[in-house]
Chains A and B, each alone.
Chain A
Amino acid sequence: MSEEVIAFTLGALQEMNFDTDGADARTVLGPAGIDLDSLAVAELALRLEDKYGIKFAPEDMEVVTVKTLGQLASDVATRAHRPVAR
């Protein structure tokens, strides 16, 4: 499923006008790579929540910028396979 999440995420980032040329699973989402700021992380999270029916907690968001695209995708895939905690 991770491959599909990566493809969706790249599409979302392109819609948000981020430069994703040459980006792949190893690309970091924060300043060292795509360069998402906190607002962009929040927006990307919303799009992932909307698409996969998952829910990120605020503390999950704080670490997104140090993750790679691949790490984020496997995180999303894991969450998508378990019930949302209440």
Chain B
Amino acid sequence: MSPLARTARVTGIGLVTPLGTDTGEFFDALCGRTLAERRSDKLRGGGPPGGGGPPGVCRPPAEHPMDGIVEVAGFAPDIDPMRLLPPTEARGVDRFVLMAMAAGDAALADAGIVVGRDVDPARTAVVVGGGFGGLTLFEAHAVARHERGRTAVSPTLLAGMLPNMASARIAIRHGIRGFSSAVAAACASGAYAVAEALRLIREGLADVVLAGGAEAPLLPTAATAFRNARALAYGWADPAEASRPFDLRRNGFVLSEGAGVLVVERPEHAAARGRAGYAELVGWGVSTDAYHPMVPRADGSGVAESIRLALADADLGPADVDYVNAHATGTKLGDAAEARAIRAVFGADAPAVSSTKAVTGHLLAASGAVEAAATALAVHSGLVPPTHNLDEPDPECDLDHVRKAARQVPVRAALSGSFAFGGHNVSLLLTRTGGP
């Protein structure tokens, strides 16, 4: 038996986001082009339901269930259930499960892995986090039961909506027989899942882990709760300007749906397949605010502690980190607390910082996985995406912001943070890979 690995390699990325389903186009949209260029693009998928508009966040079309509930949202491409499931099981599976399955397929294909051919099914694991679970399906059943009574509730509701079903359906589809679980830590779920993947690889429990998050929150009741909590951006004439992390005029986040799944692989296993992958996952840190269910500690001490733990876990110092992909969602309190945490850990020589949520919106439980992917792509390419819409940085968020345009940085190590309702703080550290 070979010695236990200290790190794990990201060898595959699968995304379903408001920017579409193509990873290259996703990263292009994050950093390669200006907002004006992106608006004139015709990228595949994402954008307004029914097509016809640019990808990214947008106004809900008239008659859409979100119309009149949110001003702006990030809609991911439709996923045809018949493409992913046997016909008799295709009905009644929640959208978060379908998006997770599509992302899982894409991640495995990207990694060049067929379970059973390239990896032992018993040495393959799946951990996909979720926030709401299948509430879209649940709400539809609740309304139908109210109107028609008991017989309106399908027995397939359970298989369609339970939060673990993203992991379960991916396992069934690909014959994954090793460790499987689901993580529920609200907006940190996806990042938690990636941290779990590193733990599983280090403990020698798996050679390949599919790790990620999925969220389908664009249903009336859930969206209304965010709106009534005054968490959502409002009053923007141009919906593309609504999500503006760290900006002085920010007034909330943009609710988005989607999924991100990473193939996290034991480095020796990847090297034996000749796969350098995108980046090496080298450390994780988790702390808890123990303060308030929906408000972060204003001094950012919980966030800072998770960053310090991740650095210690990776045996890296603050000076080794060249890029921070911030959680920053565009809320007044959250962005400022995170900025304080970053300054507290990194001091005056803080690394380049950006939040990709300006373009994607906030994918809640999926965000940590999608942003871990964005961070891996930044490490891989040496190109750091900017924070779009950051016209005037808030003095409360004094950082080395990458704004207006992407910045070329030979990124040695990069940090991706996810900080959730509930006070769950997760930090991940990635570095360049050593190659096959």
Q: Of the candidates B90, B91, B154, which one forms a contact with A46 in the assembled complex, judged by CB atoms under 8 Å apart?
A: B154
The B-contacting residues of A in range 10-58, CB under 8 angstroms, are 15-19, 39-40, 42-43, 46-47, 49-50
A-B contact count (CB 8 A): 27
A43 to B151, Cβ gap below 8 A? no
A residues less than 8 Å from B151 (CB atoms): 46-47, 49-50
A residues less than 8 Å from B156 (CB atoms): 39, 43
Q: Nearest residue in B to A37 (C-beta to C-beta)?
A: B88
Q: Nearest residue in B to A40 (C-beta to C-beta)?
A: B88
B154 to A50, Cβ gap below 8 A? no
A16 to B91, Cβ gap below 8 A? yes
B400 smallest CB distance to A (angstroms): 54
Measured between alpha carbons, how far is A40 from B155 in the docked complex, in Å? 8
Q: Nearest residue in A to B86 (C-beta to C-beta)?
A: A17
A residues less than 8 Å from B90 (CB atoms): 17
B residues less than 8 Å from A43 (CB atoms): 154-156
Question: Count the B residues whose beta carbon is within 8 Å of the partner chain — how many?
Answer: 12
A17 to B152, Cβ gap below 8 A? no
Most buried by B among A39, A40, A42, A47: A39
Decide if B148 is an interface residue (CB 8 Å cutoff): yes
Measured between alpha carbons, how far is A71 from B148 in the docked complex, in Å? 28
Decide if B87 is an interface residue (CB 8 Å cutoff): yes
Q: Of the candidates B88, B91, B152, B159, which one forms a contact with A50 in the assembled complex, judged by CB atoms under 8 Å apart?
A: B152
B155 to A46, Cβ gap below 8 A? yes
A17 to B155, Cβ gap below 8 A? no
B154 to A17, Cβ gap below 8 A? no
Given A16-B88, A40-B88, does the pair A50, B148 have CB atoms closer than 8 Å? Answer: yes
Given A43-B154, A43-B155, does the pair A17, B88 have CB atoms closer than 8 Å? Answer: yes
Main secondary structure of the interface of A (DSSP, over half): helix
A residues less than 8 Å from B152 (CB atoms): 50
Most buried by A among B148, B155, B159: B155
B residues less than 8 Å from A15 (CB atoms): 91
Q: Nearest residue in B to A34 (C-beta to C-beta)?
A: B88
Measured between alpha carbons, how far is A42 from B148 in the docked complex, in Å? 17
B88 to A18, Cβ gap below 8 A? yes
Measured between alpha carbons, how far is A39 from B158 in the docked complex, in Å? 11
Measured between alpha carbons, how far is A19 from B88 in the docked complex, in Å? 9
The contact string, 1 if C-beta is below 8 Å from chain A, for chain B 79-95, is 00000000110110000
Measured between alpha carbons, how far is A17 from B349 in the docked complex, in Å? 60
B residues less than 8 Å from A17 (CB atoms): 87-88, 90-91
The contact string, 1 if C-beta is below 8 Å from chain A, for chain B 129-152, is 000000000000000000010011
Measured between alpha carbons, how far is A43 from B154 in the docked complex, in Å? 6
Measured between alpha carbons, how far is A15 from B92 in the docked complex, in Å? 12
A residues less than 8 Å from B91 (CB atoms): 15-17
Measured between alpha carbons, how far is A15 from B87 in the docked complex, in Å? 10
B residues less than 8 Å from A47 (CB atoms): 151
A75 smallest CB distance to B (angstroms): 17
The contact string, 1 if C-beta is below 8 Å from chain A, for chain B 143-186, is 00000100111111001000000000000000000000000000
B residues less than 8 Å from A39 (CB atoms): 155-156, 159
Measured between alpha carbons, how far is A44 from B267 in the docked complex, in Å? 49
Measured between alpha carbons, how far is A46 from B155 in the docked complex, in Å? 9
8 new A-B contacts at CB < 8 Å, known A18-B87, A19-B87, A46-B153: A16-B91, A17-B90, A17-B91, A39-B155, A39-B156, A50-B148, A50-B151, A50-B152
Binding site for B on A (CB under 8 A): 15-19, 39-40, 42-43, 46-47, 49-50
List, sorted by A's number, 13 A–B pairs whose CB atoms are closer than 8 Å: A15-B91, A17-B87, A17-B88, A39-B156, A39-B159, A43-B155, A43-B156, A46-B151, A46-B153, A46-B154, A46-B155, A47-B151, A49-B151
Pairs of residues from A and B, 8 with the lowest C-beta to C-beta distance, nearest first: A50-B151, A17-B87, A42-B155, A46-B151, A17-B88, A49-B151, A39-B155, A43-B155
